[in-house]
Amino acid sequence: MTLKDRITEDMKSAMRAKEADRLLTIRGLLAAIKQKEVDERVAVDDAMVIAIVDKLVKQRKDSITQFAAGGRSDLVDKETAELKVLEGYLPARLSAEQVAAEVAKLVTELGASGPGDMGKVMGAAKARLAGNADMGLVSAAVKQALAK
């Protein structure tokens, strides 16, 4: 069963269980997936779905930060609930130590040294770690590795 099929089945079960908030989040995710399919005229695979979910998770985290700064705890709670639903569709993430180890391997493989090689290392890191690690964490690890 593909990830898209799993999301569709979860939408049906949320409808049956009358879970309005969860249903709204899943419908938003399916709409984003459909938009990608229509815009690029492709059938999405699991990697593309994970990238879409990653984007939506990042948006929720940014919104939570902004709403917390504005003192809107009601909206923080809503966005946090949506975030939990979306994170359920992401694969297990690498820990900070695992990310640092992967980045160190990449730096060695590419022979990178200094901040000027950040783009080269980030490109390779994105290809290798996309969907398995928070890219903000990867970026921080690359900066730290190249600063040595």
Write the pLDDT tens digit of every residue in 76-107.
999 999 999 999 998 888 888 888 888 888 88
Domains of the chain by range and CATH?
3-87 (1.10.1510.10), 96-147 (1.10.10.410)
Alpha carbon distance 18, 21 (integer Å): 9
This prediction has a pTM of 0.78
Mean pLDDT of 124-134: 80
Q: Of 4-8, 16-20, 70-74, 138-142, which gets the smallest average pLDDT?
A: 138-142
- Is residue 61 predicted with pLDDT exceeding 90? yes
pLDDT at 52: 93
Burial of 49 (0-12, 13-18, 19+ CB in 10 A): buried
- Is residue 116 predicted with pLDDT exceeding 90? no
The answer to whether 81 touches 112, Cβ cutoff 8 Å, is: no
